[in-house]
Chains A and B, each alone.
Chain A
Amino acid sequence: MKYTKSTCVPLNIENVDTDQIIPARFLKATTKEGFGDNLFRDWRYDKQDQPIADFVLNQDTYKGEILVAGKNFGCGSSREHAAWSIDDYGFKIVVSSFFADIFKGNALNNGLLPLVVSEEFLAELFADIEADPSTTLEVDLESQTAWITGKEDNKQSFEIDDYKKMCLINGYDDIDYLLSLKENIAKYEQDRVYAFNV
């Protein structure tokens, strides 16, 4: 993922918690696949499992690889299933003005970019999408900037640590990296300040 340009799916709700992203009763799988079917399950389907027309994922007007959400997205439970379900549904980026810490880490560990923009930029993006659902957002990971197509003069820069950026761009894996540090870890265990009994 170096550069993405896509229309957006707007979810203008604050404090979207991971129980809404994927309710606990759908966490029973022992593999990572198929969670997209239950993404936002209780907002998306009624009790008879019929799509709720008002909910944005059920509206043909809004499509795209970018989910745009209100502030404090992904709060609550640490379930990585939330990131899996968003990724499995087909989103590559989630834009918000604020993400909960654990969700942010989980997203990055699954190649899903949690993109933090200012409250003003977020409000403008929501307004533009509402006015014209074909509005596209462009995201350049290399330069760490995002902008609404046609508004190149208002580029938002975003933070991401160098390590995670390298992983996203190259598809690297944390575990390969940690396994490469085996000797350092063994040395730590030998030299540590205090070793616990269990």
Chain B
Amino acid sequence: MSNNKPRTLFDKVWDNHVVQRKEGFPDVLYIDTHFIHEVTSPQAFNGLRNRGIQLARVDQTWGTADHNVPTKDQHLPIKEALSRHQVETLTKNCDEFGVKLYGLGHPFQGIVHVIGPELGVTQPGKTIVCGDSHTSTHGAFGSIAFGIGTSQVEQVMSSQCTLQNKPKAMRIVVDGELQDGVGAKDIVLYVISKLSASGGTGYFVEFAGSAIQNLSMEGRMTVCNMSIEMGARGGIIAPDQTTFDYLEGREFAPKGEKWEESLAYWKSLPTDEGATFDAEFVYDAADIAPMVTYGTNPGMGVGVDKSVPTPESESDKKALEYMGLKEGEALIGKPIDYVFIGSCTNARIEDLRAVADFVKGKKKADGVNVWIVPGSKQVEKQAIAEGLDQVYAEAGFELREPGCSACLGMNEDKVPEGMYCISTSNRNFEGRQGPGARTLLASPLTAAAAAVKGHIVDVREELTTA
């Protein structure tokens, strides 16, 4: 594969993993790391059992329980019978097939897309899959990471490969300086609002430009996490010193000589000068305001200082009806009932610190429920070590235990019908946070500011008056 044609980061990583390419057939793509969780793996394990085979590369497979777990009293048995059964089935399957499992009670347990990076399993140049669409998160390291269905989970378990048509390449460049109070979440919500919830379909997206390079690894993960929300297969960001500094010394990161060897390889991965993309978009970071969504797909977002746009289709009208919002209505001042700070998008230590810095010495508004759900046991431990739990307690914010929580209404944490929840998660679909729940997606900072005021505010103004 070593010709002189300039290649993209995505091309290099993809082409390095093609076991077989044949006209009319999807590529046979080798997978370096396979993460599994309780929801999308049981039917795949059943498939292996039916065939009487083992996992092809059990050492490249990592399991955790996250979607179904309660975020309170994790030391007690899970109350809900079906959730308990699914989590227990994962434990049984991992035991039987010899898969490493960081289940409830394990110090590494957490949301699958939080633990992979924090353990150093996620590395530049890898191919990474999981039966979960937000696997795109891991692309922040310069790996090709994407969500797969359960049939493909079974493909990877049985062969360490999956059949994939190579997506087209898109580059999204965000240059310039972000305003104070605007962060990674706002960047990605802004991009999705420009390109729509389907604008990236068929593409793998490289995020580039100075505003992206200036993000921390955690910010980059937030951006790549939501690349799926514009329909893209995944997002990818060139590995650089920020990436290497983040990884060095982590539990499963390469050490010693292997570290040096890895660095040399990783440094060869960024997109070559002159490489071309099938589509390219350029945005100015200074144009981005704190974002909030008003509809029922993540493309329906606007700057928080704007009003609800005029619906352009029947689907838009249906969305506003569901949300109980009217065209032309201002978003600032809209009362909220719940605040959810968590999920694979925004439940890392920097998110928790940003919230604590903002609320220090402030109190939540009366009648608002505020949940802070750390992404992993390690994030939880770190937050407590830094005394963030005290700050939250004084503000009336509830710090819970790690899991997917109210991001998807699958466990006990649900937003009641008709209630408004400002949420740092990734999806505002109808019923996503519970039947009839109304989700407004935003950054941790915007969510924290809303928690304090009891309604949507422009966090930029809160910062200047502080």
Contacts and interface: CB of A to CB of B under 8 A. Distances in A.
A75 B409 CA distance: 18
B167 interface: yes
Interface in B89-105: 89
A19 B427 contact: yes
B367 interface: no
A178 B28 contact: yes
A149 interface: no
Give the interface SS of chain A, mostly helix, strand, loop or mixed.
Answer: loop
B19 interface: yes
Chain A: interface size category:
35 or more
A76 B159 contact: no
Nearest to A24: B410
Interface stretch (B79-87, B273-281, B381-389): B79-87
A194 B125 contact: yes
Interface in B63-82: 67-68, 82
Contacts of B121: 198
Contact of B163 (A14, A81, A178): A178
Given A23-B435, A71-B198, A185-B19, A175 B51 contact: yes
Contact of B427 (A76, A79, A181, A189): A76
A164 B135 CA distance: 24
A80 B150 contact: yes
Interface residues of B, number: 81
B133 A174 contact: no
Contacts of A50: none
A30 B39 CA distance: 8
B85 A30 contact: yes
Given A175-B158, A181-B159, A15 B297 contact: yes
Nearest to A27: B39
Interface in A73-132: 75-81, 83, 98, 100-102, 105-106, 109-110
Contacts of B11: none
A90 B47 CA distance: 22
A13 B68 CA distance: 30
Contacts of B233: 101-102
Nearest to B131: A78
A102 B430 contact: no
Nearest to B158: A175
B147 A15 contact: no
A75 B198 contact: yes
Nearest to B87: A28
B176 interface: no
A42 interface: yes
B91 to A, nearest CB: 12
Given A14-B315, A196-B32, A75 B25 contact: no
A20 B165 contact: no
A52 to B, nearest CB: 13
B151 interface: yes
Interface string A160-198: 011110000000001101110110110011001110111
Interface in B401-426: 408-410, 417
B129 to A, nearest CB: 10
B214 to A, nearest CB: 28
B164 to A, nearest CB: 8
B181 interface: no
A177 B56 CA distance: 15
Interface string B14-42: 00110110001110101011000001101
29 contacts: A14-B315, A15-B297, A17-B297, A19-B429, A19-B430, A23-B409, A24-B67, A24-B409, A24-B410, A25-B410, A28-B68, A28-B410, A71-B198, A75-B297, A78-B135, A78-B147, A106-B151, A161-B25, A174-B152, A175-B159, A179-B158, A185-B159, A185-B161, A188-B19, A193-B16, A196-B254, A198-B33, A198-B59, A198-B252
Given A78-B133, A181-B161, 12 more contacts: A17-B429, A19-B429, A20-B429, A42-B435, A77-B427, A78-B149, A80-B131, A102-B133, A102-B147, A161-B25, A185-B161, A197-B258
Interface of A: 12-15, 17, 19-20, 23-25, 27-32, 42, 47, 70-72, 75-81, 83, 98, 100-102, 105-106, 109-110, 161-164, 174-175, 177-179, 181-182, 184-185, 188-189, 192-194, 196-198
